[in-house]
Amino acid sequence: MEDSAIIDLYWARDQAAVTETDRKYGPLCRSLSLRITGSREDAEECVNDTWHRAWDTMPPQRPGCLRAYLCRIARGLSIDRWRARRAQKRGEGTEVLLSELEDCIPAAPSAEEVWEAREVAAAIDRWLDGLDRESRALFVRRYWYGDRVDELAARWGRTPNGTAQRLRRLRAGLRRALEREGVIL
Amino acid sequence: MSDKSERLFEALGELSDAHIDEAAGAEPAQQKGKPHRRRWAAAAACLALVAVGVGSLSGVIPLLPGAPGNGTGGAGHDEASTFMSYAGPVFPLTLREENDSISAQRDITLDFSPWVREWVSNEEEVAAMEGLTDAERQDAMEQHDEWFPEGGYHRSSDHILVTDAYTLTNPGDADQTVTVLYPFAASLGSLDEGLPALTLDGAALEAGLHVGSYAGGFRGVDGPDDPRFLNLRQAGSWEDYRDVLSDGSYLQNALEAGPDVSAIPVTVYEFTDPYGPARDGDAGIPNPSIRASFGLDYDETTVLTYGFHGARYDREGGTMIQEFSIPMSWGREDGLFYLLVLGEDIEDLTTGGYVTGGTDADTPTLEGCGVTVERYESDLDTMLREILTPEWEERSRSYYQDDLRLSIDFETFYRAFLEHLLSYGLLSPQTVERYDGSWLENMVRDVTVVDRVCWLEAEVTIPAGGSVTLTASMTKEASFDFACAHTANQGVKGYDLVTRLGSNLSCTAQTATLEDRGQIQIVRQNFGFDLENGVNTVTLDPEVEHYYLEVRRAETE
């Protein structure tokens, strides 16, 4: 079913909206959540919660891109779930992602006021726009969707080591870009 | 790591839809090999019209025996907790053929040694990596030093080691050879983690594997009263396993040959070599896509698809649309897409290019794109093997995520897939809503992760008037509640066993021993262990079907 029709179902308060959403975007959101939480049970619950959140927010929302809208909800819920379980040392994949993202943190005086998340994201968006398409997809698949390095390597026909090096260069590039923009985290 | 990296990770959540959507379209690489068949329609251009033929559907196999209902779990639950994530009990050994002249003593040990924290240095971790060049090893070392600047990390697990030993006695005056079956709960994706190792008097015993069908059911999104079974309801308590094992039909099915679908004819539409303009949002081509539209009578035709990721089903109008994004140079290396038509053939197949995905009627068409469509007759077995072999190969690779990685041969995987398809999918008389679409990929993942009971089978000879000891050793996962749920069982881990469920073996005695390693405090149990007073071994009552032990980590230093 086309996205606009699914959104119409939400607006009509027709519960088939959830069915159609799960049919079309369930696998993508489960995969995304699984990578962050590291648990299929958590992922299943996060996806269920995503559908509920979608139900609660449409209306009034009418997202321009339903796929990104749902993935964004699923990602946020999955991070919350991962945080809650961090004490149990589960979801180690996200720990590794955070370790890597340390490379991207710009140097800045600690007394400065931190930027809003939305402002930081806008700066990253601008940096992404300047990349070639493959680099852009590689970065977003790794740090937004949480894909593993070896999976990315297989996807693009590269070695894991080469892919890790490339991601490292991208992280260094992002750090320089954020520093240029004066981003404070 | 710092709060800043977490803040950055969170800020990434606010990236623009365009970047998120673009990366989502980067599909995993598909198989490179393609079957060599005569192309009946070479490089069909957009909006090519395809002729159709006629087939018929036969050989549909009914719902597998033993599968539990789709409600909310069995009745008669004991005082044990119902955990949100249930690992399944330790089951007792059974014999393939009942044999009253063989008796057994069972001694099971629950060993908490994996709970002991162990320091793992970065050097040890990197040294254990195989096949690295010097440069890669140096790189890995640098990476580990970044991740763990303290020089390493503490590792522990909430798994336990289970040793389930049976002293089999033959009081007769002739040697007896029996076939033993050792059951264990697992998913196909977790088989290598929990696979028991069998030994006979200390020597490794070769064993074959039998895989049972899905041991759970389905549930609605909105709880038990929701009749639309969109979610899996995995086995959640030992009673769920009791329900599937108690009448013996589940085991019988696992021991028999799998379904045979070679007699089911299919008409195949194979789509290859799609091409078109590159994605260019500025030019109004955000997601160049191919749509396949056709007519069908939903009562007479079943369509299974592979590779497509958008669809519209119009049962009343008698039409269906399937669509996929034209693979990009950095995405899928070689797109391969199938329509498998069972029953009456589809009609008036047209393919067309569109500037974006979805099936909106007003989406602008796209010039300069096309796909090769080949139509041929085959059978369901041949086609599913062709489609699923690359899926199995991909999911068997070492880098695949732990709980989704396959460690079984193709035939075992294929059988499990067929049973799921025929029990719950479009070829089942009771198709569940979760599978009422046509995409085979959705079922592949479920087949990998759903709970099952599996059996190891081995032959054992017990000498006349003598005994042998058969031991199953395994790592057993814990059952637990999700921490974020803030239940009373937060931090509590559960382990359980059943004394006679599914077993025809006559046990004269059963004991359980707890090797707590100073790591646990007992929260709830019905074994009778008393750590303070040194009661670590207890005799089990065979009349008690289920024993449970629930613990949390002991406070130390």
Predicted confidence pLDDT, tens digits, chain B (557 residues): 567 777 788 788 888 888 888 887 664 433 333 322 222 222 222 223 232 222 223 333 333 433 433 333 333 356 899 888 899 999 999 999 999 999 999 999 999 999 998 888 989 888 887 777 787 788 778 877 877 788 888 878 889 999 999 999 999 999 999 999 999 999 998 888 889 999 999 999 999 999 999 999 888 766 666 677 777 888 889 999 999 998 999 999 999 999 999 999 999 999 988 888 887 778 888 788 899 999 999 999 999 999 887 888 888 899 999 988 887 544 334 567 999 999 999 999 999 999 887 777 788 899 999 899 999 999 999 999 999 998 898 888 765 555 567 889 999 999 999 999 999 999 998 888 888 888 898 788 789 888 999 999 999 999 999 999 999 999 999 998 876 566 788 889 999 999 999 999 989 999 999 999 999 999 999 999 999 999 999 999 989 999 999 999 997 64
Give the distance from residue B98's alpha carbon to the nearest chain A alpha carbon, in angstroms.
38
* Closest residue in A to B400 (Cα–Cα): A151
Q: Which residue has the higher pLDDT, A86 or A66?
A: A66
B257–chain A Cβ distance below 8 A for any pair? no
Which pLDDT value is given to residue B511?
97
Q: Which of A56, A58, A18, A26 is nearest to A43 (CA)?
A: A26
Q: Which of B488, B230, B325 is nearest to A21 (CA)?
A: B230
Written out in words, the top-level CATH class of the domain with range A3-90 is mainly alpha
Whole-number Å distance between alpha carbons of B427 and B61? 8
| A80:B484 CB<8 A | yes
Which pLDDT value is given to residue B315?
87
Residue with tokens 């059952």: B479
Q: Taking a C-beta distance cutoff of 8 angstroms, is the pair A162, A138 a contact? A: no
Q: Taking a C-beta distance cutoff of 8 angstroms, is the pair B307, B290 a contact? A: no
- Dig out the tokens for A1 from the structure: 């079913």
| B14:A84 CB<8 A | no
Which pLDDT value is given to residue B486?
64
| B29:A155 CB<8 A | yes
Q: Quickly count: other Cβ atoms within 10 Å of residue A48's Cβ.
A: 19
* Closest residue in B to A84 (Cα–Cα): B484
Residue B36: φ, ψ to 5°? -100, 105
- Chain B residues touching residue A150 (CB < 8 angstroms): 399
Q: Taking a C-beta distance cutoff of 8 angstroms, is the pair B440, B225 a contact? A: no
Which pLDDT value is given to residue A63?
85
Give the distance from residue B527's alpha carbon to the nearest chain A alpha carbon, in angstroms.
27
| A164:B228 CB<8 A | no
Q: Which of A7, A28, A27, A26 is nearest to A16 (CA)?
A: A7
Whole-number Å distance between alpha carbons of A91 and A81? 9
Whole-number Å distance between alpha carbons of B406 and B403? 8
- Dig out the tokens for B530 from the structure: 């008393």
- Chain A residues touching residue B84 (CB < 8 angstroms): 41
Which pLDDT value is given to residue B33?
31
* Closest residue in A to B28 (Cα–Cα): A155
List the single residue in A34, A39, A137 with the smallest CB-CB distance to B26: A137
Give the distance from residue B257's alpha carbon to the nearest chain A alpha carbon, in angstroms.
30
- CA B397 from chain center: how many Å? 15
* Closest residue in A to B439 (Cα–Cα): A23
Provide the greatest CA pair distance for chain A.
52
Which pLDDT value is given to residue B137?
80
**Domain limits of chain A?**
3-90, 97-181
| B11:A157 CB<8 A | no
Give the distance from residue A155's alpha carbon to the nearest chain B alpha carbon, in angstroms.
5
- Chain A residues touching residue B28 (CB < 8 angstroms): 151, 154-155
B426–chain A Cβ distance below 8 A for any pair? no
C-alpha distance from residue B18 to each of A68, A129, B287, B539 (Å): 8, 10, 11, 64
Asked if domains A3-90 and A97-181 share a fold, the reply is no
Checking if the pLDDT of A33 tops 90, the result is: no
| A80:B17 CB<8 A | no
| A117:B29 CB<8 A | no
Give the distance from residue A24's alpha carbon to the nearest chain B alpha carbon, in angstroms.
7
Whole-number Å distance between alpha carbons of B77 and B96? 29
- Dig out the tokens for B267 from the structure: 């008409």
List the single residue in B12, B17, B232 with the smallest CB-CB distance to A124: B12
- Chain B residues touching residue A156 (CB < 8 angstroms): 330
The whole-model pTM stands at 0.66
Residue with tokens 């469920």: B501
**Range 494-553 of B in CB contact (< 8 A) with A:** none
Q: How many CB pairs under 8 A join A and B?
A: 191
- Chain B residues touching residue A79 (CB < 8 angstroms): 9-10, 13
Give the distance from residue B332's alpha carbon to the nearest chain A alpha carbon, in angstroms.
7
Q: Which residue has the higher pLDDT, A160 or A79?
A: A79
Q: Which of B439, B438, B436, B381 is nearest to B414 (CA)?
A: B381
Q: Taking a C-beta distance cutoff of 8 angstroms, is the pair B396, A143 a contact? A: no
**The B208-214 sheet, strands edge to edge:** B94-95, B176-186, B452-462, B208-214
Written out in words, the top-level CATH class of the domain with range A97-181 is mainly alpha
| B6:A98 CB<8 A | yes
Give the distance from residue B1's alpha carbon to the nearest chain A alpha carbon, in angstroms.
6
- Chain A residues touching residue B491 (CB < 8 angstroms): 88
